[in-house]
Chains A and B, each alone.
Chain A
Amino acid sequence: AAGVIQSPRHLIKEKRETATLKCYPIPRHDTVYWYQQGPGQDPQFLISFYEKMQSDKGSIPDRFSAQQFSDYHSELNMSSLELGDSALYFCASADGGIGVGDNEQFFGPGTRLTVL
């Protein structure tokens, strides 16, 4: 079965550079969530989209932006990168509207971002 695809899997950037992470949800899933997991930490919710519209926002820095496109894939854009942005970034997709309890989130393998 098709799973959530994230690209790239690994990314190395220098401070003040920009990065774009991509997430391709499971086919027919219309909801995408982004999470950030710092070293030794639990995943923290960043932002989510439902039907191409932002549906919820968590602890996402102003330097970050994201969007969901017409084919439901999503991109997380990160600018003015800082050392503290080094983390594993997960995307999860789900089928159905936000807040519906039964729409399980399926996680991608993550993108490991290292900022030097």
Chain B
Amino acid sequence: AQSVTQLDSQVPVFEEAPVELRCNYSSSVSVYLFWYVQYPNQGLQLLLKYLSGSTLVKGINGFEAEFKKSETSFHLTKPSAHMSDAAEYFCAVRGGKLIFGQGTELSVKP
């Protein structure tokens, strides 16, 4: 069975501070990992994905994530937060259907 755990339900940061949203996964099969962002009252937008190959994945809006098999982690990072990054972020694993983590609310303070 596959599962995803997002370790923080809320992450507050100051503008221009680095961001790290943590995600751990559990999977007994090939791992396909995703990060989605959801702005208030909007749908899910794909930030980045890991399917195979390079373990450091770059996505949109300056985000990147590193797949670490030994740690079963896929943490999302960004060197400098912008106010527009404030949103809910979901980590997900896929084996056909997507299985989402509980979400992390990123808030950015000026």
Contacts and interface: CB of A to CB of B under 8 A. Distances in A.
Given A90-B43, A110-B43, A33 B97 contact: yes
B66 to A, nearest CB: 19
Interface residues on B, range: 20 to 34
Nearest 8 interchain pairs by C-beta: A42-B100, A45-B97, A107-B44, A109-B43, A101-B32, A98-B96, A99-B96, A107-B43
A99 B95 contact: yes
B30 interface: yes
A43 B46 contact: no
A43 B96 CA distance: 15
Contacts of B95: 99
Contact of A101 (B41, B51, B100, B101): B51
A55 B96 CA distance: 9
Contacts of A90: 43-44
Q: Point out which of B44, B52, B103 has the most chain A C-beta atoms below 10 A from its C-beta.
A: B44
A90 B32 CA distance: 20
Nearest to B90: A42
Interface string A89-102: 01010000011011
A105 interface: yes
Interface in A59-112: 90, 92, 98-99, 101-102, 104-110, 112
B102 to A, nearest CB: 5
Given A43-B90, A107-B44, A102 B51 contact: yes
B10 to A, nearest CB: 12
B53 to A, nearest CB: 11
A101 B30 contact: yes
Nearest to A31: B96
A35 interface: yes
Interface in B64-110: 90, 94-103
